Amino acid sequence: MLKMKIIRQWIAGILEDHRPLLAIAVRQRAKFEGWLKFEIAAIAEKVGARSVEVEPMSSVSASSKERPDLTFIYNGARYYVELKTPNSNWRMPGVRNKHRPITKNINGIVRDARKLYRYAGQGIVAFVLFPIPPRDNRWIEYLDRIASEVEIPLTEQEHCDRFSLSLGKEQFADLVICSFAVPPR
């Protein structure tokens, strides 16, 4: 079985390798989910995954809203991955203010986790929450909310890693990379 920490390590490596690009996205609070899906797919293939597909047609539903973001077979097991890059609305120096409530982004993570219950394979939800003021832990309340709504125990220590990013001009932001398994029901 693929460990959830591996997915976080893949994402952290991608972010590390693309810091200048990521700084542009974070300064604008621009979501980068589409790009990240393909980067993860490339890593999955590199480590030996087969049948890697981004947004494949599904036997569960033909609707594009119901398709998983990524699927692959690794060590004989089928994985379905849902990926989100929710942006926060905390005010920060060097980051454009946006007014979309973070609650809508968190609802999207919960919706995607519930979608994975229908698939006969291992479901994985991964998300990168950004920007977070350095050393600020207010984001944990959202992790707790996700855990409560999907009825899966989640902890910062077991399911999340923090990533610090320079935005230029001596301004910094943190990103939180989280992943968890969603078993089929």
Q: What average pLDDT does the segment 54-65 reach? A: 68
**Do 143 and 179 touch, CB atoms closer than 8 A?**
no
The first and second tokens of residue 71, run together, are 């699927």
50-54 sheet: strands from edge to edge: 50-54, 70-74, 77-84, 122-132, 171-182, 160-168
Q: What average pLDDT does the segment 90-96 reach? A: 92
When pLDDT is cut at 50, 70 and 90, the band that residue 179 belongs to is very high
Residues sharing a CB contact under 8 Å with residue 28, sequence separation 6 or more, in sequence order: 96
Is the pLDDT higher at 119 or at 129? 129
When pLDDT is cut at 50, 70 and 90, the band that residue 64 belongs to is low
- Over the chain, what is the mean pLDDT? 92
Query: Which pLDDT value is given to residue 114?
Result: 94
10 Å CB burial of residue 123 (0-12, 13-18, 19+) is buried
Report helix, strand or coil for 96. coil
When pLDDT is cut at 50, 70 and 90, the band that residue 184 belongs to is confident
Q: What average pLDDT does the segment 122-144 reach? A: 96
Predicted confidence (pLDDT) at residue 60 exceeds the cutoff of 60: no
Query: Which pLDDT value is given to residue 98?
Result: 79
When pLDDT is cut at 50, 70 and 90, the band that residue 61 belongs to is low
The one-letter code for the residue type at 138 is R
Query: Which pLDDT value is given to residue 63?
Result: 55
- Residue whose C-alpha is closest to residue 123's, from 66, 159, 79, 84: 79
Predicted confidence (pLDDT) at residue 47 exceeds the cutoff of 90: yes
CA distance readout (Å), 47 to 1, 2, 41: 14, 11, 10
